[in-house]
Amino acid sequence: MEKETLLDAVVADVTARRKGGRKTGGFTLRDVAKLAGVAPITASRALNTPDAVSAKVLQKVQAAVQQTGYVPNLLAGALASQKSRLVAAVVPTLSGPMFLETVESLTDTLAAAGYQVMLGQSGYENSREDALLDAIIGRRPDGIVLTGINRSAQARRRLLASGIPVVETWDLTPTPVDMLVGFSHEKIGIAVAQYLHAAGRRRVAAIGASDDRSRRRVSAFSQEAVRLGMAPAGASEIPSCEVAAPTTLGNGRSALNGLLARAPDIDAVFCSSDMLALGVMIEAQASGISIPQQLAVIGLGDLGFSRDLQPPLTTVRIDGTVIGRTAARFIIARSEGKSVAEPVCDIGFTIIERASV
């Protein structure tokens, strides 16, 4: 039977199955094998382990796939191999750029090893993350990459019971669920307070977000600032303002207004994100407050726009590329049955000095 005639016959079979209401109403592996002139098991080998068949057979099967538009049933393959080639990644928000670098690096590194990423948004509440994790664990990915370390007791139990390799990111603890790539938020707060003190600032304030990681940064910043004498006389903490997560430029503008109403003598503000810092700078300049002469501003994230502001924004750089790449390598190693020598990796952070301080 000529190739075009054979293709017509295969298409006719598929059409008949669809009209008959069968679930297998699309092209199947058997259809691909028939069109390629090989056995179904040979077609399967060509698609899953191409090195196991001859170049001629591989070319015929690939041509049949191209003609039919066939997409392999990965669920069936996962059941047979117990590997899904999927890795689930969960971030608090997709609306901001903070975690974008990590997701891109994670995706690229996993893709190079033949894995695909399934991305989920958890929000900033454990209850939402619990429901999302239940759905993810039920699909049995080859790995799970999470943001932060504060899981509910229920989520932690289910992750441990699943046996799926887990990497927690963007935080630091000696007792992760499984593996971890991150940094200390408390150390960031302390380092920023010391940096501003060394720059001659003596009345500092903070604008943070309503999530645990930001609260720990602000708390450590406040404690160190008080220790260094950067709080009002007799005060046990510095002036601060908390806004909803994820943070926005508008949050930064309104927060600075509120801080100045309560503490008009502040000379520096540590912001929980570069987006907040941008809002602070816009509001300060609109109010006739010069930066950095009257008010120093420091952000977190080193987002793309920070170096292009006027003045350029001093900020805390988190290497999201390293986080994503390392998390991917951890997952790949464990998925292939290898051990990870150092399952807790502290990547640290860097204060990027620019002209806003």
Cis-peptide, bond into residue 292, ω within 30° of zero: yes
Question: Alpha-carbon distance 148 to 127, whole Å?
Answer: 15
Distance CA 293, CA 225 (A): 20
Q: Are 282 and 249 in contact (CB under 8 A)?
A: yes
| CA gap 186, 113 in Å, rounded | 35
Average pLDDT over residues 219-232: 96
Q: What is the pLDDT of residue 319?
A: 97
pLDDT of residue 338: 93
Question: What average pLDDT score do residues 294-310 get?
Answer: 97
pLDDT mean over 260-286:
97
| Contact indicator for 268, 281 with CB cutoff of 8 Å | no
Mean pLDDT across 188-207: 98
81 vs 336, residue with greater confidence: 336
Of residues 51 and 112, which shows the higher confidence score? 112
CA distances from 302 to 115, 309, 353 (A): 29, 12, 11
What confidence tier does 322 reach under pLDDT thresholds 50, 70, 90?
Answer: very high
89 strand-pairing partners: 119, 145
| Residues 101/302, Cβ–Cβ less than 8 Å | no
Which residues touch 273 (CB under 8 Å, ≥6 apart)? Answer: 96, 98, 209, 247, 299, 300, 301
Q: Pick the closest to residue 344 from 206, 194, 179 (CA basis).
A: 179
234 — pLDDT class (breaks 50, 70, 90):
confident
Q: Among 271, 333, 327, which residue's Cα sits nearest to residue 297?
A: 271
Question: Across residues 238-253, what is the average pLDDT?
Answer: 95
Give the pLDDT band (50/70/90) at residue 73: low
Is the confidence at residue 16, as pLDDT, over 70? no
Q: Which helix (H) or strand (E) holds 60?
A: helix 55-68
Go through 24-50 and write b for each residue having 16 or more CB atoms within 10 A of its CB, e for each that does not.
eeebbbebbbbbbebeeebbbbbbeee
Mean pLDDT lowest among 113-127, 168-182, 328-342: 113-127
- Average predicted confidence (pLDDT) for the chain: 90
Determine the Cα–Cα distance for residues 194 and 201; give it in Å rounded to an integer. Answer: 10
Instruction: Check residue 10 and give its pLDDT.
Output: 67
pLDDT exceeds cutoff 70 at 201: yes
Q: Buried b vs exposed e over 87-121: b needs ≥16 C-beta within 10 Å?
A: bbbbbbbeebbbbebbbebbbebbeeeebebeebe
Q: What is the mean pLDDT of residues 35-40?
A: 90
Residue 27 pLDDT > 90, yes or no?
A: no
User: Tell me, what's the pLDDT at 196?
Assistant: 98
Residues 210, 242: Cα–Cα separation, whole Å:
6
Estimate to the nearest angstrom the gap between the alpha carbon of 202 and the chain centroid: 36
Q: Please, are residues 238 and 226 in contact by the beta-carbon 8 Å criterion?
A: yes
Residue 97 in 3-state DSSP?
Answer: coil
pLDDT value of residue 74: 54
Token digits for 293? 């002469």
Q: How far apart are CA 228 and CA 190, in angstroms?
A: 10
Least confident of 11-15, 53-57, 63-67, 243-247: 11-15
Q: Report whether pLDDT(83) > 80.
A: no
Give residue 95's pLDDT.
76
Q: Which of the four pLDDT bands, split at 50, 70 and 90, describes residue 17?
A: low
pLDDT higher than 60, residue 23: no
Encoding tokens for residue 40?
């179904």
